[in-house]
Structure 1
Amino acid sequence: MIKLRLKRFGKKREVSYRIVATNSTSRRDGLPLEELGFYNPRTNETRLDVPAIVRRLQQGAQPTETVRSILRKAQIFEQLKA
């Protein structure tokens, strides 16, 4: 099963995340299938590759709860229904 999850990177105490599509059995920071975006919780900056995320969701990828909330704020699910 493919999951959309956060991949941690950055320095200690200055963490940021990449939103990636990865196999559900792989490690958190393992090799992703595809990088789909970026999220920085310190500045609340988010950059998303919307067409790629919509494509992955249509293929059946399951987002984690945190990624789901980020996508909900960006209104990705409304684009998926349209």
Structure 2
Amino acid sequence: MAVRLRLQRRGKPKRPYYRVVAIDQRAKRDGEPIEILGQYDPIAEDNKFKVNIERINYWLGIGAKASETVAALIKKNQTVEIKQ
């Protein structure tokens, strides 16, 4: 099973809110995640982005790949290097 770290959309129409999740790459965008790793609110004034860095490092360490968007958010907001 190939695992991806990606965003899962939540919220209301025109008011998106995202979860950062570890999920099978074949699953639908809003499918059942393996683990919820954090959250991202793009509408908030300071773009609230909160993640569990220890768990992200764990998933990356066992071979999961981050989506381009998640990798960019982590690089922008944290001091973690993402290898693609």
TM-score, normalized by length of structure 2?
0.89
CA apart distance, 1:56: 0.4
Secondary structure in 1 matching 2:31:
coil
Counting matched residue pairs gives 79
Q: CA-atom RMSD, angstroms?
A: 1.4
Give structure 1 stretches of 5+ with no counterpart: none
Where in structure 2 are there 5+ consecutive unaligned residues? none
Q: Percent identity?
A: 35
State the 1:23 CA deviation: 0.3
SS in 1 for 2:11: strand
* Secondary structure at 2:81 match in 1: helix
| Cα deviation 1:44-74 (Å, max 9, x = unaligned) | 1011111101100101110111001011111
Q: What is the aligned partner in structure 1 of residue 54 from structure 2?
A: 51
Q: Indicate the SS of the match to 1:77.
A: coil
What is the Cα deviation at residue 76 of structure 1?
1.9
Structure 1 stretches of at least 4 aligned residues deviating more than 4 Å after TM superposition? none
Between Structure 1 and Structure 2, the one with more helix by share is 1
Relative to the length of structure 1, the TM-score reads: 0.91
Displacement of 1:39 after TM fit?
0.5
Matched, 1:72 2:72: no
